[in-house]
Chains A and B, each alone.
Chain A
Amino acid sequence: MRLGFYSEMVRIRTYEEAIRRDYHADKTPAWDIGAGLIPGEMHLAAGQEPVAVGLCANLVQGDALTGPHRPHHLALAKGVDMKAMTAEIFGRTTGLGKGKGGHMHLFDPSQHFSCSGIIAEGYPVAVGQALAFRRRGTDNIAVAVAGEGAVNQGAFHEALNLASLWNLPVIFVIEDNDWAISVHRDSSTPVKDNAERAASYGIPSKRIEGNDVEAIYEASKQAVERARAGGGPSFLEVHTVRLWGHFEGDAQAYRGDELTEAESRDPIPLYATKLENAGILDEATAAAIKQTAVDEVEEAIAFAKASPEPAPSDAYLHVFA
């Protein structure tokens, strides 16, 4: 299982590195956010892989996950098809949304995965998914993930209150990467631990300080088991790390020395060392894992690039069912 965690984190990191490379590849000579094969904003999740991997390892087919504007790690860990997701990011007809959604609006109904570019607004949707699962009599659960910047939105509090009131099978996760774009959490949130806030709604809550995939797995395992058994919602806040900018092109001058400190907390080399020390991982295995990831990611990117662009007239389709 630990090698599986490592492989999945490497897979996600390899994906984000490749998207980053191709995102910037053709924005020259003058950097233009709307230019290139991948246009628009791009929010990558390097550093946050342990949250997605530790959490999703506890989910089963039929469970729902809704993510925020920074969704790739969650989508991949949830089992969203990498090719269809990449094609969507490249705006192609073979994409998850046929090129209509883009990287902040990924919908894969087969995996019950969705995300939204509006901070905290996925939380109430997860409450409704949990309501549907209970009404249908399944033991599936819904998970909502957002960044720590979401905890001061009304939607966050309304969703927690409703889920607790109705004792719904939903897990609320906050990825605390310290930064809401350029505003540090100390400048936005007067409590150090958002589990305190969730607890005030009667929800079992926990903050995990280390960006440790195993700790995240164990904590979410308890939460998932509670939800499946009819024990209602749980809340987890994970102190993770945003290794790159809020969006690609973010110079991050506001981070100063903190950025160097953050880079020292890169979870993948730290976990590799841990596994090497435990005798689970060696250099050759690590290289093979990386190569497998590279092959899969490059195949997905090649698929996306080879896929057709939408016909202009497709803009008028799908407003209504």
Chain B
Amino acid sequence: MTATETETRRITTAKAISEAIAQEMRANPDVFVMGEDVGTYGGIFGSTGGLYDEFGSERILDTPISETGFIGAGIGAAVEGLRPVVELMFVDFFGVCMDQIYNHMAKIHYESGGNVKVPMVLMMAVGGGYSDAAQHSQCLWATFAHMPGLKVVVPSNPYDAKGLMASAIQDDNPVLFMFHKGVMGLPWMAKNPRSIGDVPEERYTVPIGKANVAHEGSDVTVVSVSMSVQHCLDVAEALEGTTSVEVLDLRTIVPLDREAILKSVGKTGRLVIVDEDYKSFGLSGEVVATITDTDPRLLKAPVQRVAYPDVPVPYSRVLEYEALPTRDKIQKAIETVMKG
């Protein structure tokens, strides 16, 4: 394989994530993986594909269904200096292990006055769109972002996923790495072509806390994360020649790149936020507050929020797509702010 072919290699987000973990594991013997079905299965959503074959059962640990037990064990290993990558299969399962996440993983560094570090990645699948209903389809990133002490990473594509996973493993803080099932490029789920993309083979990082202008524009800013970024890019490309849309992919929610939001809205004066997490008390409100806390006069028109309505995720396809952020809704929101 030539260097050029290497550079243009296209892989899924799932493959990009497992490749990042493998490279970090080769570089640092303290890195190991724990979770349900992360071993021979390779992760239900492919995040640990191939790792068991290379690293074996000493470093890729299948766990019992005991989320409190194994997330707590990850914390214990991390405070003793290892770098665990722990998978919570679905974010929706946080209810059975939240104490370890927010009372221990998130707080130990603060409570210890900075004397104890918890260098740990907790990765998990989020998001809906495939009729998995109320207990297996939520995003919930704002729930975790609300609580101090956790970094929250929400990639939208293979390149960012690989670089952000490498950064997460190298970080001395607990990092929640939340991958949307729809961006993983799974062979058994309908996908946006953006879930497969160019990814360098070599090790690299994408910094945590830096947003990315995924599509430059001058008329309106569309701020989004994760799967919804792919929809926003589809709309931005479709509107080329009509409306110049700037798509800002936040990539991480904690730390939130407020400067990037202010810079883009300062340029366009118009703001749409697209968020698959619940609308109220969440990310979309926080993005608006970033503007209004600084200078509400940056806005030429009222903000439009395309976020998940305040209802549990319904099962029926008709009902679920009524609630999900879709390209049609995003386009309509852009048209509305352009009239404002």
What total count of A-B pairs have CB within 8 Å? Answer: 151
Which residue of the partner chain, among B58, B64, B84, B117, contacts A161 with CB atoms under 8 Å? B64
A274 CB to nearest B CB, Å: 37
Taking CB atoms, residues of chain B closer than 8 Å to A116 are 103-104
Cβ-based interface call for B156 (8 A)? no
Which residue of the partner chain, among B104, B115, B151, B172, contacts A97 with CB atoms under 8 Å? B115
Taking CB atoms, residues of chain B closer than 8 Å to A46 are none
Taking CB atoms, residues of chain A closer than 8 Å to B74 are 128
Query: Are A96 and B66 in contact, CB atoms less than 8 angstroms apart?
Result: no
Check A158/B79 contact, CB under 8 A, given A116-B104, A121-B100.
no
Taking CB atoms, residues of chain B closer than 8 Å to A109 are 79, 112, 115-116
Cβ-based interface call for B99 (8 A)? yes
B278 CB to nearest A CB, Å: 25
Q: Give Cα A154 to B116, complex, Å.
A: 26
Query: Are A125 and B76 in contact, CB atoms less than 8 angstroms apart?
Result: yes
Q: Give Cα A107 to B107, complex, Å.
A: 12
Cβ-based interface call for B82 (8 A)? yes
Query: Are A118 and B99 in contact, CB atoms less than 8 angstroms apart?
Result: yes
Query: Are B73 and A321 in contact, CB atoms less than 8 angstroms apart?
Result: no
Query: Are A129 and B76 in contact, CB atoms less than 8 angstroms apart?
Result: yes
Interface extent on A, as a size class? 35 or more
Which residue of the partner chain, among A98, A105, A131, A161, contacts B66 with CB atoms under 8 Å? A161
Cβ-based interface call for A51 (8 A)? no
Taking CB atoms, residues of chain A closer than 8 Å to B75 are 124-125, 128
Query: Are B76 and A131 in contact, CB atoms less than 8 angstroms apart?
Result: yes
Query: Are A321 and B117 in contact, CB atoms less than 8 angstroms apart?
Result: yes
Query: Are B64 and A165 in contact, CB atoms less than 8 angstroms apart?
Result: yes
Interface digits, A233-273 against B, CB 8 Å rule (1 contact, 0 not)? Answer: 00000000000000000000000000000000000000000
Q: Give Cα A154 to B103, complex, Å.
A: 16
Cβ-based interface call for A126 (8 A)? yes
A305 CB to nearest B CB, Å: 19
Taking CB atoms, residues of chain A closer than 8 Å to B113 are 95-101, 107, 318
A203 CB to nearest B CB, Å: 14
Q: Give Cα A108 to B108, complex, Å.
A: 11
Q: Give Cα A158 to B100, complex, Å.
A: 13
Cβ-based interface call for B306 (8 A)? no
Cβ-based interface call for A275 (8 A)? no
Which of B74, B99, B103, B117 has most chain A Cβ within 10 Å? Answer: B99
Interface extent on B, as a size class? 35 or more
Query: Are B116 and A107 in contact, CB atoms less than 8 angstroms apart?
Result: yes
Interface digits, B68-81 against A, CB 8 Å rule (1 contact, 0 not)? Answer: 11111111111111
For residue A101, which residue of chain B has the nearest CB?
Answer: B111
Which residue of the partner chain, among A95, A108, A121, A129, contacts B80 with CB atoms under 8 Å? A129
Q: Give Cα A126 to B100, complex, Å.
A: 13
Q: Give Cα A161 to B68, complex, Å.
A: 12
Q: Give Cα A109 to B77, complex, Å.
A: 13
Taking CB atoms, residues of chain A closer than 8 Å to B119 are 321
Cβ-based interface call for B149 (8 A)? yes
Q: Give Cα A118 to B112, complex, Å.
A: 16
Taking CB atoms, residues of chain A closer than 8 Å to B61 are 166
Check A107/B111 contact, CB under 8 A, given A118-B103, A124-B72, A125-B104.
yes
Query: Are A127 and B116 in contact, CB atoms less than 8 angstroms apart?
Result: no
Check A320/B112 contact, CB under 8 A, given A127-B69, A131-B73.
no
Which of A123, A124, A131 has most chain B Cβ within 10 Å? Answer: A124
Cβ-based interface call for B187 (8 A)? no
Taking CB atoms, residues of chain A closer than 8 Å to B71 are 124
Restricting to A111-169, which residues have a CB under 8 Å from any CB of B?
112, 114, 116, 118, 121, 123-133, 135-136, 142, 154-155, 158-159, 161-162, 165-166
Cβ-based interface call for B110 (8 A)? yes
Query: Are B111 and A100 in contact, CB atoms less than 8 angstroms apart?
Result: yes
Cβ-based interface call for B148 (8 A)? yes
Check A318/B109 contact, CB under 8 A, given A114-B116, A125-B104, A162-B69.
yes
B47 CB to nearest A CB, Å: 21
Which of A107, A114, A116, A128 has most chain B Cβ within 10 Å? Answer: A128
Query: Are B149 and A155 in contact, CB atoms less than 8 angstroms apart?
Result: no
Cβ-based interface call for B241 (8 A)? no
A151 CB to nearest B CB, Å: 15
Query: Are A158 and B77 in contact, CB atoms less than 8 angstroms apart?
Result: no
Cβ-based interface call for B308 (8 A)? no
Check A121/B69 contact, CB under 8 A, given A100-B111, A321-B114.
no
Check A158/B82 contact, CB under 8 A, given A95-B113, A127-B76.
no
The 9 A-B pairs with the shortest beta carbon distances in the complex, nearest first, are A124-B72, A128-B76, A158-B69, A98-B113, A128-B73, A132-B80, A107-B112, A97-B113, A125-B76
| Chain B interface residues (CB < 8 Å from chain A) | 32, 58, 61, 63-64, 66, 68-82, 84, 96, 99-100, 103-104, 107-117, 119, 148-149, 151, 172-173
List, sorted by A's number, 30 A–B pairs whose CB atoms are closer than 8 Å. Answer: A98-B114, A100-B110, A100-B111, A100-B112, A107-B108, A107-B115, A109-B116, A116-B103, A118-B104, A124-B69, A124-B71, A124-B72, A127-B72, A127-B76, A128-B75, A128-B76, A132-B82, A135-B32, A136-B80, A154-B68, A158-B64, A158-B69, A159-B72, A161-B66, A162-B69, A162-B70, A317-B114, A318-B112, A318-B114, A319-B149
